[in-house]
Structure 1
């Protein structure tokens, strides 16, 4: 992280400071007014009475900012308003070229300082990229955010930093183009991150994938000049509280041309470097869990390849034999992600998992249904588990909308010549894709998350920014915290 989060006992004289105030505040608390002139106090009080949510005092040598808690119907919405206030605040700090700021939490919300810092830090994220012009590679001005006194403990700040490092790992992976991050390089980057955080990585190469007869992954890879990989990430700390592991599966299509069923461009193929956002989210989540020493045994599976139309590329009409032994008729080579996931979900059975959650930028249907505001969820897990994951989504504002997996949707993926087809009907495509995956689930509860909408943004949106968002990392981390607290 380029932005340092720290704890401070107090703010030094003439430091730029942020004071978080309770909703409805019209008078400044003494802790926020001590070094202000009477005129400055009067100005801030008048601004608060005018219902301004962010008040700025420019003292030329330093700055004071006053952030007012929003009044919202749920704690999750209050938390999200604070993150978004962090984004707005970052814009002002950047404009004023403030290098370090001290945050005081004078509100009744004990987590307000952390939430504001989270919004600041996520806004401050910048993908380094590959620019060579020094003028366009200026270092960010804001380099340090300190939370003062009881605004946050050092332990909570360290946990937030570990979580954000996982989010930024996922963003970095998604933002990297194919010629900088093919399937082999993705596996290597995931392993390097594991070395830093503390999880282990076992990378299966082409011969091992062939030995496992992963027909879906192998078929999608046929048109590529580069080999596939299958990464197994594992975080198993001493004293893990779960006897059976949680397994996370992430789609790792490092670039998707659509294969022989070629995608159109622009506005489709040109941003398909993001098609491995599910795999990136799995890596980011394992990173955060390991970095923060979360006492749960969690395994990540990331099948990876690009999908190209060259060479011996698989074709519509082909019939594949999957890792599970089921046969699949290929109706469209652009419905490739479910083929990789199916092999990984079948492979997951060997772990006798407590729960399997897969994440994938799987369908345009999910985007049409929910835009970039939420992910689609479906699965066979108990309603209480689905509800817990949904609650985690609302807590971190990575919201989920559950769709049904009724038996009738199985008709959408019937094949005349194989066990099933890899393509459903024109309607409910995100559901038929999940229904396809369900056929490869055996003996464990499962949740599917179609993150195609929020995983990658073509225009900047608050603290989520532009490009890879890291969707899934904060959601799953919060879910696991809820598991521990149950």
Structure 2
């Protein structure tokens, strides 16, 4: 991460500083106004009286910014107040960019000391830029903001460094999602995962075509048939000394590096042209493993990412084909654009060998999920118990990567019945996200499991506050928050 986050016990007298003020503030605390002229103090007081939430004062040698924290009352929970401060970080970043601020001190003056971390998170997530491939120096826009220094009695240097590690995981996921196919095919994706592991300390094993064939991973092999490039199956394992869990948590991520839809070809524009993002689930798993290892979280966690592109060339699989999966189940392929569940199914069945505590899978799986909850939420469903589901939902509220649980009632199994195989790979026109989940459920025997359909928020075609445009790294913060509380 090019933007550094650090902690300090105090801030210099002359420094670009943002002060987080308690809700309802009308008079500036002395620490936030010591070097202001009388006219400047009057201006800030007038702005506060007018209910302004972000105020900017240019001291010429330095600048003061004032952010008013929301009151935690009524419908505004502590989690929503934190999200409001992240969004304030987004708004503040526009001023920092305009003012060419290089180092910003964040001084939390609220009674709860709960504002500095989410505000810094919002600024940092907004400041992210995908480096891209531009060669014109004029087109390159190097970020000016280099450092955030958090000053608050209520937080520690360790908390600041933990946030920095999580953000690095998010940025890694964003970078992977934003890379096009010709820069990130299945082999390159696997190499990027291995490189991340070497950097922070998790082990990576990459299964090549020969080993995938030997394992008879029929779903992954079928999707790969139309591609000129071989598939990969990457196993990432983070197992630190002193891990507190006897059985590992297993994360599974869809790694379709580009999805044309295969012979069930997607239309373009507005459908196929953004399908470099179809590996966002695999990117999220990589980001989570990175953050856990970077922050030395004492948990044993395994990541599984089956990867290929889905193309209609050569001997591509066709509607009507019957394939035998790694688990031994047979699947009638009714639509080659319902390919992600085929990769995931092999990986979910493979996960059983680890005797996992819990398996979580992440995938940009269905347009139905995106239509159901939009970019504002993540569809989830699974067989985990109520305690685990509640913990995941609470993590979703804390990170504002909110979960909407869909049912997996027995009746939905009828949606994927096949006349000639055990199941088919696509359901009816209704409940498309659920029938996809019901398909995956058939491959999760023997362990508790939750499926996350991140199709809505994983890749944005227009900027959305601190999530930006393009790959968002969605589910990294959510999953890290959930797992770190399991340690």
Residues 1:34 and 2:34 aligned together? yes
- Cα shift at 1:344: 0.2
Provide the C-alpha distance between the structure 2 equivalents of 1:148 and 1:482, rounded to a whole number of angstroms.
25
Name the SS of the counterpart of 2:462 in structure 1.
strand
Structure 1 SS opposite 2:7: strand
The 5-angstrom pairing of residues 73-88 of structure 1 reads: 73-88=76-91
Partners of 1:417 and 1:228 in 2: CA distance? 28
Residue 179 of structure 2 corresponds to residue 180 of structure 1: no
| Equivalent residue number for residue 2 of structure 2 | 2
Aligned counterpart, 1:20:
20
The alignment's TM-score, normalised by the length of structure 1, stands at 0.98
Q: What are the ranges of 5 or more consecutive residues in structure 2 without an aligned counterpart?
A: none
Q: How many residues align?
A: 484
Structure 1: how far apart are the matches of 2:174 and 2:112? 29
Aligned-pair CA distance for 1:151? 5.8
8 Å contact 1:388–1:482 — kept in the other structure? no
Equivalent of 2:287 in 276, 279, 284: 284
Residue 234 (1) aligns with residue 237 (2): yes
Question: Which residue does 1:380 correspond to in 2?
Answer: 383
TM superposition shift of 1:152: 3.4
The answer to whether structure 1 residue 55 and structure 2 residue 55 are counterparts is yes
Deviation by residue 1:212-232 (Cα, 9 ceiling, x = unmatched): 000000000000000000000
Contact 2:113 2:152 in 1 (8 A): no
Q: Decide whether the 8 Å contact of 1:327 with 1:420 is kept in 2.
A: yes
Asked if the contact 1:113–1:151 (Cα under 8 Å) also holds between the matched residues in 2, the reply is no
Counterpart of 1:340 in structure 2 is 343
Residue number in structure 2 paired with 1:271:
274
Structure 1 gap ranges (5+): none
Q: Following superposition of structure 1 onto structure 2, how do residues 91-240 of structure 1 map, counting pairs within 5 Å? A: 91-150=94-153, 152-240=155-243
**What CA distance in whole angstroms lies between the structure 1 residues aligned with 2:151 and 2:138?**
34
How far did 1:438 drift? 0.4
Deviates more, 1:83-92 or 1:41-50: 41-50
Deviations along 1:180-210, whole A, 9 cap, x unmatched?
A: 0000000000000011111110000000000
**Alignment partners' CA distance in 1, 2:139 and 2:153:** 39
Q: Whole-Å Cα distance in 2 between the matches of residues 151 and 122 of structure 1?
A: 22
SS in 2 for 1:101: strand
C-alpha deviation, 1:35, in angstroms: 1.1
CA contact (8 A) 1:255 1:306 kept: yes
Partner-residue secondary structure (3-state), 1:234: strand
Q: Quote the offset at 1:258 in angstroms.
A: 0.2
Show CA shifts across 1:239-274 (max 9, x none): 100000000000000000000000000000000000
CA distance in 2, matches of 1:50, 1:480: 42
For residues 58 and 90 of structure 1, what CA distance do their matches in structure 2 show? 15
User: Is residue 2:260 matched to residue 1:253?
Assistant: no
TM-fit CA distance, 1:20? 0.4
Cα distance between partner residues in 2 of 1:350 and 1:291: 26
How far apart, in 1, do the equivalents of 2:421 and 2:276 lie? Answer: 31
TM-score, normalization: structure 2? 0.98
Whether the 8 Å contact between 2:245 and 2:300 is mirrored in structure 1 is yes
Which one of the candidate residues 400, 417, 422 is aligned to 1:414? 417
Counterpart Cα distance in 1 of 2:402 and 2:22? 26
Pick one of 448, 457, 466 that aligns with 2:460. Answer: 457
198-207 or 57-66: bigger deviation? 57-66
- Distance in 2 (CA, whole Å) between partners of 1:371 and 1:79 is 22
Give the match's secondary structure for 1:64: strand
For 1:81 and 1:108, how far apart are their aligned partners in 2?
Answer: 17
Equivalent pair of 1:103/1:151 in contact (CA under 8 Å): no
Judge conservation of contact 2:116–2:152 (CA < 8 Å) in 1: no
Q: Which of 308, 329, 345 is the equivalent residue of 1:305?
A: 308
1:10: how far off? 2.5
Distance 1:12 1:224 in 2: 58
Deviation at 1:143, TM superposition (A): 1.0
Contact (CA 8 Å) 1:99, 1:141: kept in 2 or not?
yes
SS state at 1:270 partner: helix
Contact 1:233/1:300 (8 A) holds in 2: yes
- CA distance in 2 between counterparts of 1:57 and 1:334 reads 54
Structure 1 equivalent of residue 469 of structure 2: 466
Please list, as runs of the form range in 1=range in 2, the aligned pairs for 1:391-402 lying within 5 A after superposition: 391-402=394-405
| Worse-superposed segment, 66-75 or 287-296 | 66-75
User: Does 2:437 correspond to 1:446?
Assistant: no
